[in-house]
Homo-oligomer: A and B are copies of this chain.
Amino acid sequence: MEKIDGIQLKSEITLADLEKSEGGEITFSACVHKIRDMGGFSFIILRTGRYVLQSVYTKDECRGDFDALTEGEYVTVTGVVKKEPRANYGYEITLSSFEILSKPKEEYPLHVSSKHLGCSIETSMEHRSVALRHPEQRAVFKVAEGVVSGFREFMLGEGFTEIHTPKIVAAGAEGGANIFKLKYFGQNAYLAQSPQFYKQTCVAFFDRVFEIAPVYRAEKHNSTRHLNEYIGLDFEMAFIDDMHDVMAMETAMLRHVVKYLADNYSHEIEMLGATLPEVNEIPSVTFFEALDILGKERAQFDLDPTDEVKLCEWAKKNHGSEFIFVEKFPGLKRPFYAMDSKDDPKLAESFDLLFRGLEITTGGQRIHDYDEQVEKLKRYKVEPEELGAYLDIHRYGMPPHGGLGIGLERLVMKLLGLDNIRQASLFPRDLHHLDP
């Protein structure tokens, strides 16, 4: 029998460790990212879990079989940390020994150690597990981690409860054909298009909730902005006066996330050459105002991708904002749980947020009154029975409430200026990609 006390833990190397060890010896494990023979000595570039460090090998100073060393191996190295302004982060390690922990079977099929990966998206998808070893590629997902962490920190700070709701469901929240079907012990079931019904349910007792979880859309899009499985950042809040309370919460959240990224992920933001947006006042126009800005007739019910680009250009030019809200959409294209506008029941208390030319959020105020919801369902020709237990939440009482959903990958894509949403998903799911 042994005893595990969890007191001495192995740790990852950090930049603070380098600083602390300057002039002294350090030992850590890493991947051999690149070997550059310089004649009398060699640079051995080491890739840790977050950094790419420069070490120097000379036969005289370092034990170990140099000829056995190849790119892609995992090693433990020991060496002396020296200041070196020309090296990444200003430090270089003069190796005194190394041990090879594991060897690849084959060489990388991609240029993992080049400055840029420099291959097509399709090739990067085909060799996904290799492409992600490129420092720029993986950096995208450190930023995604930062967005999620910043979002969560903000939500918890504002008294939102984090929930986890099922993704196998009996009915789709958005309806329509764009839903994945499966058999659940003989019953017809679906993959959740959003946590809509569940987050509304939880508002009845937690007032404010958020969820970070996968969302499924069986849309047959083959575009640079759609994924069939993505991460939804959802929140829902009680006791709103109107949807502007939700929009204000989102604005404050985005400001927090941008600051969180600047504080904790500047390394990756710089590597990727990205510019973080400023989140000050976000202009909000009604859908009809948006059509006026676009110089279009009031003959459409939703915005198309070109409209989104043009509205963002307008907001940037006229209000210095890379974000713009569009509110009060025609009800026709909005879900049955959206509240009708008091001024004009043909409009819904529903909004989108556009960022750098792309819709990243849909939200709004929801119906909380039972009779109002039942009446609206009739107009949508939805039978209450189709919704299972959902109407129970209205039957037994709901506070006035609203919320929104943000597509994580879309937000990351636009924060980093990526061309294709697949670059913002570790293992994208689209029409043609199910593996890995």
A interface residues with partner B (beta carbon < 8 Å): 1-12, 14, 29, 31, 47-50, 72-74, 76, 101-109, 127-130, 132-133, 138, 141-142, 144-145, 148-149, 152, 156, 158-159, 161-171, 180-185, 187, 189, 191, 197-198, 201-202, 204-208, 212-214, 216, 218, 220, 228-229, 231, 237-240, 244-245, 247-255, 279-285, 289, 319, 325, 368-371, 388-390, 392-400, 408, 426-427, 429, 431, 434-436
Q: How far does the alpha carbon of A5 sit from the alpha carbon of B396 in the complex, in Å?
A: 35
Q: Given A133-B204, A149-B156, A170–B396 Cβ distance below 8 Å? A: no
Please tell me if the beta carbons of B206 and A138 are within 8 angstroms of each other in the complex.
Answer: yes
Please tell me if the beta carbons of A181 and B183 are within 8 angstroms of each other in the complex.
Answer: yes
Please tell me if the beta carbons of A251 and B102 are within 8 angstroms of each other in the complex.
Answer: no
Please tell me if the beta carbons of A434 and B170 are within 8 angstroms of each other in the complex.
Answer: yes
**A208 contacts across to B, CB distance below 8 A:** 12, 49
Q: How far does the alpha carbon of A158 sit from the alpha carbon of B50 in the complex, in Å?
A: 13
Interface pairs (25), CB distance under 8 Å: A5-B281, A12-B158, A14-B159, A29-B207, A31-B205, A47-B205, A49-B161, A102-B368, A102-B399, A104-B370, A106-B395, A129-B204, A130-B396, A138-B205, A138-B206, A141-B161, A141-B163, A141-B206, A164-B408, A166-B214, A167-B229, A170-B434, A184-B228, A185-B218, A390-B436
**A47 contacts across to B, CB distance below 8 A:** 205
* Nearest-Cβ distance from residue A229 to partner chain B, whole angstroms: 5
Please tell me if the beta carbons of A74 and B239 are within 8 angstroms of each other in the complex.
Answer: yes
* Nearest-Cβ distance from residue A223 to partner chain B, whole angstroms: 15
Q: How far does the alpha carbon of A3 sit from the alpha carbon of B50 in the complex, in Å?
A: 39
Please tell me if the beta carbons of B435 and A202 are within 8 angstroms of each other in the complex.
Answer: no
Partner of A133, one of B145, B187, B205, B394: B205
Q: How far does the alpha carbon of A8 sit from the alpha carbon of B214 in the complex, in Å?
A: 31
Please tell me if the beta carbons of A187 and B434 are within 8 angstroms of each other in the complex.
Answer: yes
Partner of A184, one of B11, B109, B434: B434
Please tell me if the beta carbons of B280 and A102 are within 8 angstroms of each other in the complex.
Answer: no
Partner of A392, one of B12, B129, B180, B189: B129
Q: How far does the alpha carbon of A247 sit from the alpha carbon of B8 in the complex, in Å?
A: 12
**A228 contacts across to B, CB distance below 8 A:** 168, 184
Q: How far does the alpha carbon of A165 sit from the alpha carbon of B247 in the complex, in Å?
A: 29
Please tell me if the beta carbons of B72 and A6 are within 8 angstroms of each other in the complex.
Answer: no
Q: What is the count of identical protomers in the complex? A: 2
Q: How far does the alpha carbon of A101 sit from the alpha carbon of B204 in the complex, in Å?
A: 13
* Nearest-Cβ distance from residue A251 to partner chain B, whole angstroms: 3
Please tell me if the beta carbons of A231 and B102 are within 8 angstroms of each other in the complex.
Answer: no
Please tell me if the beta carbons of A435 and B229 are within 8 angstroms of each other in the complex.
Answer: no
Please tell me if the beta carbons of B436 and A396 are within 8 angstroms of each other in the complex.
Answer: no
**A161 contacts across to B, CB distance below 8 A:** 49-50, 141-142, 145
Q: Given A9-B249, A434-B170, A2–B284 Cβ distance below 8 Å? A: yes
Please tell me if the beta carbons of B214 and A164 are within 8 angstroms of each other in the complex.
Answer: yes
Q: How far does the alpha carbon of A372 sit from the alpha carbon of B183 in the complex, in Å?
A: 37
**A133 contacts across to B, CB distance below 8 A:** 204-205, 396
Please tell me if the beta carbons of A202 and B426 are within 8 angstroms of each other in the complex.
Answer: yes
Please tell me if the beta carbons of B4 and A127 are within 8 angstroms of each other in the complex.
Answer: no
Q: How far does the alpha carbon of A72 sit from the alpha carbon of B348 in the complex, in Å?
A: 27
Please tell me if the beta carbons of A9 and B158 are within 8 angstroms of each other in the complex.
Answer: yes
Please tell me if the beta carbons of A105 and B164 are within 8 angstroms of each other in the complex.
Answer: no
Task: List 6 A-B pairs, minimum CB-CB distance, nearest first.
Answer: A6-B251, A104-B397, A49-B207, A12-B159, A6-B252, A170-B435
Please tell me if the beta carbons of A282 and B3 are within 8 angstroms of each other in the complex.
Answer: yes
Q: How far does the alpha carbon of A389 sit from the alpha carbon of B283 in the complex, in Å?
A: 46
* Nearest-Cβ distance from residue A405 to partner chain B, whole angstroms: 15
Please tell me if the beta carbons of B102 and A369 are within 8 angstroms of each other in the complex.
Answer: yes
* Nearest-Cβ distance from residue A435 to partner chain B, whole angstroms: 4
Please tell me if the beta carbons of A189 and B434 are within 8 angstroms of each other in the complex.
Answer: yes
Q: Given A248-B8, A396-B106, A389–B426 Cβ distance below 8 Å? A: no
Q: Given A4-B281, A159-B49, A388–B436 Cβ distance below 8 Å? A: yes
